[in-house]
């Protein structure tokens, strides 16, 4: 029992070590690669791929989460006499938490799995070895452009998620419940600060980069056979999902603490 726990710990620590080395190798190619035209021509089709795969689901998710938040909170807020400020609740939850997390999860599901499957298949059919034989670094060739695509597009997708959610909240509040539009936006503008928006986007950048690294790592080192690829995809999604929730917690704690330290507590009501 203890040895089982021990060996599990050792293997997870060494897995973390390997993914750390993998990330380091990726960054070593990334930094000079940013100034090379080739990197961007390789990344272009991937931008399209990531956006195309995820934008529709993200728009739907954002809209419905906005609707649900508004519906669920309206009665309580009205009972307290705060229904004017419904926009604050909806928008702030989306910008700070739900937008980045939901966009991250959608990217992990729609893009991360596909990346793992693609690279895993390349690994199993020795295409990655073929790249090495031809004197090309597979990390530079395959991982850097995928990393860039996820890193840069996840914040954009988060923005669309936030936008749809806020509009959905507005729709419930103003169109269905008759709250004055002006009041709705006044409180939103008052409550949502640059700080909140920045932390939200910061999170989404971290999630995007993390998803790409996890997905590519799992694909690169997947076991042989079609079964190995399938397993790597599942593992990749689960690992990304956990990474998103855990880093979300830590980033949230850190920046809330920082905010209070710098500006002091701010009441929203």
Partner 1 sequence: MQPETTTESSKTPPKEIIRLVDVHKHFGDLVVLDGITVGLRAGQTTVIIGESGSGKSVILKHIIRLLRPTRGEVHYQDQRIDLLPEAELAPIRARFGFLFQLSALFDSMTVGQNIAFPIHELTRRSHSEIEEDVKRKLALVGLDGTQNMWPAELSGGQMKRVALARAIALDPEIILYDEPTTGLDPPRADVINELIIKLQRELGVTSVVVTHDMASAGKVSDRVLMLYRGKFIFDGTPEEILRSEDQRVRCFVEGHCYEEDRRTL
The tokens 């070593």 sit on which residue?
Answer: 28
**Of the candidates 160, 103, 139, 135, the residue with the CA atom closest to the CA atom of residue 219:** 139
Among 2, 5, 31, 133, binds partner 1 (CB under 8 A): 133
**Binding mask of the shown chain, residues 150 to 169, with x at each position contacting partner 1 by CB under 8 A:** --------------------
Helices (H), ranges, 86-193: 86-93, 99-107, 113-124, 127-133, 138, 144-170, 181-191
CA–CA separation, 177 and 87 (whole Å): 12
Q: Which region among 64-72, 105-113, 118-126, 202-210 touches partner 1 (by CB under 8 A)?
A: 118-126
Which residue, 7 or 198, is less far from partner 1 as judged by CB?
7
Which residue, 29 or 237, is less far from partner 1 as judged by CB?
29
Provide the b/e sequence for 188-226 (b: ≥16 CB within 10 Å). beebbeeebeebbbebbbbbbbbbbbbbbbbbbbbeeee
Q: Which region among 62-70, 117-125, 240-248, 257-265 touches partner 1 (by CB under 8 A)?
A: 117-125
Residues 7-26 contacting partner 1, CB under 8 A: none
What are the residues whose beta carbons fall under 8 Å from the beta carbon of 218, sequence distance 6 or more? 116, 120, 232, 233, 235, 236, 239
> Cβ of residue 48: shortest distance to partner 1, in angstroms?
14
Q: Which region among 69-77, 129-137, 175-183, 208-216 touches partner 1 (by CB under 8 A)?
A: 129-137
Which residue, 126 or 227, is less far from partner 1 as judged by CB?
126
Cβ distance 210 to 243 under 8 Å?
A: yes
Which residue, 71 or 114, is less far from partner 1 as judged by CB?
114
Which residue, 42 or 203, is less far from partner 1 as judged by CB?
42
The tokens 């998803």 sit on which residue?
Answer: 211
> Cβ of residue 154: shortest distance to partner 1, in angstroms?
23
**Of the candidates 127, 125, 107, 126, the residue with the CA atom closest to the CA atom of residue 236:** 107
How distant, in Å, are the alpha carbons of 10, 12, 16 from that of 3?
Answer: 10, 14, 20
Does 125 interact with partner 1 (rule: CB under 8 A)? yes
Q: Which region among 134-142, 167-175, 202-210, 243-251 touches partner 1 (by CB under 8 A)?
A: 134-142
Does 31 interact with partner 1 (rule: CB under 8 A)? no
Among 76, 127, 198, 224, binds partner 1 (CB under 8 A): 127
Q: Which region among 87-95, 130-138, 183-191, 240-248 touches partner 1 (by CB under 8 A)?
A: 130-138
CA–CA separation, 56 and 66 (whole Å): 16
Does 129 interact with partner 1 (rule: CB under 8 A)? yes
**Of the candidates 209, 213, 91, the residue with the CA atom closest to the CA atom of residue 159:** 91
Q: Which residues bind partner 1 (CB under 8 A)?
A: 121-122, 125-127, 129-130, 132-137
């Amino acid at each position: 029992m203890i040895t089982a726990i021990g060996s599990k710990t050792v293997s997870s620590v060494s897995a973390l070590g390997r993914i750390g080395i993998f990330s380091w190798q990726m960054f070593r190619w990334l930094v000079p690669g940013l100034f090379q035209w080739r990197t961007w021509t390789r990344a272009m089709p991937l931008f399209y791929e990531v956006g195309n795969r995820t934008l529709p689901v993200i728009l739907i998710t954002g809209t419905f989460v906005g609707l649900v938040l508004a519906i669920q909170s309206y009665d309580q807020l009205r009972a307290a006499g705060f229904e004017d400020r419904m926009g604050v609740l909806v928008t702030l939850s989306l910008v700070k938490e739900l937008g980045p997390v939901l966009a991250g999860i959608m990217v992990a599901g729609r893009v991360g799995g596909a990346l793992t499957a693609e690279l895993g298949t390349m690994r199993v059919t020795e295409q990655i070895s073929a790249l090495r034989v031809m004197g090309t670094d597979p990390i530079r060739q395959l991982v850097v452009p995928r990393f860039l695509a996820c890193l840069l597009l996840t914040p954009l997708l988060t923005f669309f998620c936030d936008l749809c959610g806020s509009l959905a909240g507005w729709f419930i509040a103003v169109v269905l419940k008759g709250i004055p539009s002006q009041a709705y936006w006044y409180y939103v503008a008052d409550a949502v600060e640059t700080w909140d928006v920045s932390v939200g986007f910061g999170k989404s950048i971290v999630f995007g980069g993390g998803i790409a690294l996890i997905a590519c790592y799992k694909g690169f080192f997947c076991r042989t056979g079609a079964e190995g690829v399938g397993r790597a995809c599942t593992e990749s999604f689960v690992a990304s999902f956990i990474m998103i929730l855990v880093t979300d917690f830590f980033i949230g704690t850190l920046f809330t603490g920082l905010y209070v330290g710098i500006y002091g507590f701010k009441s929203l009501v």
